[in-house]
Amino acid sequence: MEKVADIASDIGEYIRQQRSNAKISLRQLSKLAGVSNPYLSQIERGVRKPSAEILQQIAKGLRISAEALYVQAGILDLPTGGPVGDAIRADAELTERQKQVLLDVYESFRRENAAARPAAESAPATDTPDTTSAAATKESA
C-alpha cells in the first residue's frame, strides 16, 4: 500500500512541477484539463492517484506528452534509449515537449541508421582502395 501512496505523491509532485514550469495556476490547469479544481489539488498533494484518462487530460492541459505522465505514474515503463535518452529526459532546462521532440528525432535517426546498416553490411566493400596492386605497380616501374 505504501508503494501506491508513493506513486501518487510522485505523480502529484511531478504535475505540480510541470504546472509551475508552465506558469499556470491550479485553477487554470483545472479549466484547461477539464478536471475539477479540488480533484486536481488532491492529485498534486498525493491524496488521489489519477487514472490514465485523467492523466491524459492533465497532459493536454499542460501541453506535455501523456507518455511522460504515464511513466511518472508507473503506468508505462521508462522508454529505453541509452545514455542519450536518459540525458535528454534528465535535463531540467528543457520542457517536456522539447524533450519529446528531441527523443523523437533521435529515435528516428537510430531507426534510419539501423535500417541502412544491413544493406551496407551485405554490399561488397568497393570503396576501400586496393593497396596491394598499387604497391605492385610501383615495384615494376
CA–CA separation, 93 vs 109, rounded Å? 23
Beta carbons of 62 and 19 less than 8 angstroms apart: yes
What pLDDT shows up at residue 137? 45
Residue type for 21, please? N
What pLDDT shows up at residue 32? 95
CA–CA separation, 37 vs 117, rounded Å? 52
What pLDDT shows up at residue 8? 60
- Ordered DSSP codes for 46-95: TSS---HHHHHHHHHHHTS-HHHHHHHHTSSPPPP-HHHHHHHHH-TTS-
Task: Report the pLDDT averaged over residues 80-84.
Answer: 74
Cell of 54: 485523467
What pLDDT shows up at residue 5? 53
- Per-residue pLDDT tens digits for 56-74: 999 999 988 888 888 888 8
- Per-residue pLDDT tens digits for 84-121: 887 887 788 988 889 888 988 988 888 898 888 876 66
- Per-residue pLDDT tens digits for 29-49: 999 999 999 999 999 999 999
Number of Cβ within a 10 Å radius of residue 106: 15
